[in-house]
Structure 1
Amino acid sequence: MAALARIRTGLWALVAVVAVAAAGFYAYTSMTSSAEAAGLGHGDYQLHTVGGEAFTRDSFNGHPSVLFFGFTHCPEVCPTSLAEIASWYETLGDEAKNLNAYFVTVDPERDTAAVLSDYVAWTGKVTGVTGDPAEIEKATKAWAVYAAKVPLDGGDYTMDHTASVFLLDNKGEFSGTIAYREDNATALGKLRNLLAKS
């Protein structure tokens, strides 16, 4: 009986140690994630809109924004995301009058200002952003966006890239994301929350 009691006590001690370790790991990862999120977008990139205006980190100051990284030859994700952004504006109406939207290309070699301007024009709301490849790379790194060229048969290529929409408050600070094809009601709730805080 005494041996059994010692084993039981030892097992409970082990459970306690594991629980404390798990709690510590959770706290560490939460703090790390928060710290990383707080630094999103804080980079020294020099891009320009399709209208020729400078586009930098400071361009987000003064208004809430949605930000998406994509490319004009994108077969599905980008046109779908643009359509969703346009539908959010339509649903929100005057609620979104101060909300800005930006589409930053991850394929600056093909997405000139003229090409990108035509691509986003139909939305009536989204501003296209492009720039030199080196500056685009700085921007993707600042936002922790994955973007990689994928060769296709015949010498052409496509791009793999992060498909989330970034939400920024009126100080240009990261405020969350909307996932690709996220439930529309959930997306609108996130946008309304963003607008209420900005």
Structure 2
Amino acid sequence: MAADKRILALGAVATVLVLATGGIWLSQTKDSDPFGQCRKSVVAGGMEAFGAPFTLTNQQSQRVTDKQVFAKPSLVYFGYTFCPDVCPLDVSRNGEARRLLSERGLDVNDVFITIDPNRDTPEALQSFAEVQDPELIALTGSSEEIDAVAKAWRVYYKLNNQDDPEDYLVDHMTNTFLVMPGQGTVEYFGRDVSPEDMATRTACFVNAAK
């Protein structure tokens, strides 16, 4: 009986120590992360594992680097202009979030990277941007360049062009990434996030970086 009591007592002490240590670790982790109070997404390896340097072509046929594109906080979406429904809705949502942030005095880029470079020429991207968001930065490149960029952001896509090389659909992921200058990718947003929620969460990161 006495031994059982000692075991129970030691177990209780161990539990308290584990909880206390865990609380200290979580507190230190949050304190060490300048965006800790803003993050809602958790991924294996951390968000810093997303992204890599690139050089792509914008809708003005200019070659631009990641440093030029991400000179401001940026909402980044991977899609294609021939997408019948999902991409236009998502890009429109991102554009509305950018406008809401602008009304708050926060300057954020709205970025679209095609996953269909064969059809998404600079001219096609220009027409798409004019409809979606006049401030949209739309990017294309060679198939190899797009493959590398998509892989860096862990974006899955598949061209279903085996039967029809012109009129085909593309399977793809629909996350929007938030990239901060000098910090890399810090967050991502799913399709269910509203423009207002995206703007509020993005503003948290932008203000925390100041």
Tell me the TM-score normalised to structure 2 length: 0.71
Contact 1:104 1:129 in 2 (8 A): yes
Partner-residue secondary structure (3-state), 2:61: coil
Asked if the contact 2:100/2:196 (under 8 Å) is kept, the reply is: no
Partner deviation per Cα, 1:88-126 (whole Å, 9 max, x = no partner): 133233435521111000000111110111011121121
Question: Helix, strand or coil: the match of 1:121?
Answer: helix
Name 1:108's counterpart in structure 2.
117
Give the whole-Å Cα distance in 2 for the aligned partners of 1:150 and 1:42: 23
**Counterpart check, 1:151 vs 2:166:** no
Question: Aligned residue for 1:118?
Answer: 127
1:86 aligns with 2:130: no
- CA separation in 2, counterparts of 1:33 and 1:178? 12
For 1:184 and 1:97, the matched residues in 2 are separated by 15
Amino acid at match of 2:168: Y
Among 137, 142, 165, the alignment partner of 2:147 is 137
Q: Output the amino acid matched with 1:137.
A: D
Percent pairwise identity = 22
Q: Structure 1 residues 183, 99: closer, same or farther in 2, change over 3 A?
A: closer
**SS at the partner of 2:77?**
strand
Structure 1 111/172 Cα, relative in aligned 2: closer, same or farther at 3 Å? farther
Count of residue pairs the alignment pairs up: 195
Amino acid at match of 2:151: K
Q: Tell me, yes or no, if the aligned pair for 1:64 and 1:171 is still in contact at 8 Å.
A: no
User: In the alignment, does 2:202 pair up with 1:167?
Assistant: no
Structure 2 distance, partners of 1:119, 1:129, is 11
The question of whether the paired residues in 2 share the 8 Å contact of 1:104 and 1:128 is answered with yes
Say whether 1:38 aligns with 2:56: no
SS at match of 2:157: strand
Runs of 4+ more than 6 Å apart:
none
Contact 1:70–1:106 under 8 Å retained in 2 = yes
Range moving further from structure 2, 100-109 or 183-192 = 183-192
Partner of 2:18: none
Alpha-carbon distance between aligned partners in 1 of 2:129 and 2:58, rounded to the nearest angstrom: 12
Partner of 1:195: 206
Q: Which runs of 5+ in 1 are unaligned?
A: 2-31
Cα displacement (A) at 1:49:
0.7
Q: Distance in 2 between matches of 1:67 and 1:96?
A: 20
Structure 2: which 5+ residue stretches go unaligned? 2-41
* Aligned equivalent of 1:50: 59
Structure 2 residue 98 is the aligned partner of structure 1 residue 66: no
Aligned mates of 1:107, 1:152 — CA distance in 2:
11
Q: What is the CA–CA distance in structure 1 between the aligned matches of 2:67 and 2:195, rounded to whole Å?
A: 30
8 A contact 2:160–2:171 mirrored in 1: no
